[in-house]
Amino acid sequence: MSTNAPIALQITINITALAHAELDAGGYSADIPALPGCYTQGETLDELRANIQDAAEAWLAVAHDLATHNAGQAEAA
């Protein structure tokens, strides 16, 4: 018997982040326009790069969870 189970695939995508030097506070901040509300900060550009990667992954995970939850509610209705 075959099932139509989903297959998880790892993919790499490029998303543009806008970095800003924080002249008064020091360090940098960044946001991703394609992911509303996705922003972070870092003391150095290397830290900022790592933090924006983490922020994007977290944003996408929450969006996935919400979509899955909402789909489950729609099926139950």
Is residue 5 situated within a structural domain? no
The pTM of the whole model exceeds 0.85: no
Pairwise CA distance, residues 77 & 6, whole Å = 23
Alpha-carbon gap, residue 35 to 17, rounded angstroms: 10
Task: Summarize pLDDT for 5-61 with one digit per residue, the tens.
Answer: 888 888 898 999 999 999 999 999 999 999 999 999 999 999 999 999 999 999 999
**Residue 7 resides in a domain:** no
Alpha carbon distance 27, 8 (integer Å): 37
In a domain, 37, yes or no: yes
Number of domains in the chain: 1
Range of the domain at 50: 18-76
**Judging by beta carbons within 10 Å of its beta carbon (0-12, 13-18, 19+), is residue 40 exposed, middle or buried?**
buried
- Report the C-alpha gap between 38 and 54 in whole angstroms: 10
- Residue 4's pLDDT band, with cuts at 50, 70 and 90, is confident
